[in-house]
C-alpha cells in the first residue's frame, strides 16, 4: 500500500521577517551568488525549490546567520513554532587553505582586490561547493526532502548576502580576508620583485584612513612653548613664534 503524502496547512504569516531583495526571477544577481544557488538547485526537487523561493520572498525566515561551515536560521511554517534549519558547508582543509593563501599572495592584483572587498573569481574552484558531499541540509520540520523548503529559503537569502558581500563565502569556508592577506608589514617583502629596481611593479598597501582634524588642532601650544623655552629663546620671541605658527596653520587649513 502506497503511503499517503503528508499534507501541510497554510504557512503562518510573519511580522518583521528577513526581507528578500529579489522580488521576482532568479536569485543570485552576481557571479558568486548565481554559482552558489546553482549548486544547491542541482541537488533539490523543483517543487521544494519553488516553495523555498516563496518562503524567502514572503519574509518567512525569522533569523539568518552565516557562520564558518554553516548557515543557520529559523523559518516559520504552518505550525505554531518556527522550524530550525541548517545548511552545513564543509570548510576547507589545511591543504586547500594553503593553496588559496599562496594563490592570492602570488598575485598582487588578487591581493589588492581582496583587500578592497572584491573576491577574485579565480578562487571559485576552492570556495564554491561543487558536489552533494560539500552540502548537508537539516531541518526540524517533518519533510525529509534534502533540502526542504525551509533550508532552501535560507540558501536563497544567503545568496543575496553573497551578492552584497562575496567575502561571506570565505566565512562559510572557514577563512577570512585578514588570514589570507596577512600582516601587510610582514608580507611587504614578498611583494617586492628584486629585479624591479625602481619599484614600478610594486603594489604597496593602502594608506590608513586618518580622521580629519583642523590644522590648528594639531599644534600643541604648551609643548611648543616648552621646546622654545628650553632653547633659551626670549619670552617675547617665544610668543611671536607661536603666533606665527598658528597663523601658518590656519592658512594651510583654510581657516
Q: Give me the DSSP letters along 15-71.
A: SSPPPPS--SS-S--SHHHHHHHHHHHTTS-HHHHHHHHHHHHTT-EEEEEEETTEE
Looking at residue 80, its pLDDT comes to 81
What does the block give as the cell for 88? 552545513
d(CA 91, CA 126): 10
CA pair distance 249, 255, nearest whole angstrom: 8
Q: Are 209 and 219 in contact (CB under 8 A)?
A: no
What pLDDT score was predicted for residue 56?
92
* Residues 6+ positions from 16 with CB-CB distance below 8 Å: 59
pLDDT confidence of residue 155: 93
- The tens place of each residue's pLDDT in the chain, 255 residues long, gives 444 445 566 777 777 788 888 888 889 899 999 998 888 888 778 888 999 999 999 999 999 999 999 999 999 987 888 899 999 998 888 899 999 999 998 888 888 888 888 899 999 999 988 777 788 889 998 887 778 899 999 999 999 999 999 999 999 999 988 888 875 444 444 445 656 666 677 666 666 665 655 555 555 666 666 666 666 667 777 777 777 877 777 776 655
What pLDDT sits at residue 69? Answer: 92
Question: How confident is the model at residue 2, as a pLDDT?
Answer: 47
Nearest to 52 by CA among 81, 29, 85, 97: 85
CA–chain centroid gap for 237, Å, is 56
pLDDT at 144: 79
- Residue 185, pLDDT score: 41
Q: Kindly report the CA angle at 73 between 4 and 31, in degrees rounded to 5?
A: 100
CB atoms within 10 A of CB 117: 10
- Sign, CA torsion 63/16/23/145: positive
What's the rounded Cα separation, in Å, for the pair 159 and 169? 10
**What is the reported pLDDT for 189?**
45
Q: What is the pLDDT of residue 188?
A: 44
pLDDT of residue 180: 85
* Backbone torsions φ then ψ of 199, nearest 5 degrees: 70, 20
Provide the pLDDT for residue 226.
66
Amino acid at each position: 500500500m502506497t503511503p499517503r503524502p503528508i499534507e501541510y496547512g497554510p504557512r503562518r504569516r510573519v511580522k518583521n521577517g528577513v526581507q528578500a531583495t529579489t522580488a521576482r526571477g532568479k536569485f543570485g544577481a552576481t557571479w558568486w551568488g548565481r554559482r552558489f544557488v546553482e549548486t544547491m538547485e542541482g541537488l533539490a526537487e523543483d517543487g521544494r525549490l519553488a516553495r523555498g523561493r516563496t518562503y524567502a520572498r514572503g519574509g518567512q525566515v525569522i533569523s539568518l546567520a552565516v557562520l564558518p561551515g554553516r548557515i543557520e536560521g529559523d523559518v516559520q511554517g504552518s505550525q505554531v513554532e518556527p522550524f530550525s534549519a541548517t545548511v552545513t558547508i564543509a570548510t576547507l582543509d589545511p591543504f586547500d587553505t594553503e593553496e588559496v593563501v599562496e594563490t592570492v599572495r602570488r598575485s598582487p592584483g588578487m591581493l589588492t582586490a581582496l583587500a578592497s572587498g572584491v573576491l577574485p573569481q579565480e578562487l571559485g574552484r576552492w570556495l564554491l561547493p561543487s558536489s552533494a558531499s560539500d552540502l548537508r541540509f537539516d531541518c526540524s520540520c517533518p519533510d525529509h526532502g534534502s533540502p526542504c523548503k525551509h533550508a532552501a529559503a535560507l540558501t536563497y537569502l544567503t545568496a543575496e548576502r553573497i551578492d552584497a558581500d562575496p567575502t561571506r563565502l570565505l566565512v562559510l569556508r572557514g577563512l577570512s580576508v585578514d588570514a589570507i592577506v596577512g600582516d601587510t608589514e610582514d608580507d611587504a617583502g614578498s611583494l617586492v620583485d628584486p629585479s624591479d629596481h625602481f619599484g614600478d611593479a610594486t603594489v604597496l598597501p593602502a594608506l590608513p584612513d586618518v580622521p580629519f582634524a583642523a590644522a590648528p588642532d594639531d599644534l600643541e601650544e604648551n609643548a611648543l612653548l616648552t621646546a622654545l623655552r628650553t632653547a633659551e629663546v626670549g619670552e617675547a620671541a617665544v610668543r611671536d613664534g607661536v603666533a606665527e605658527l598658528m597663523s601658518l596653520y590656519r592658512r594651510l587649513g583654510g581657516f
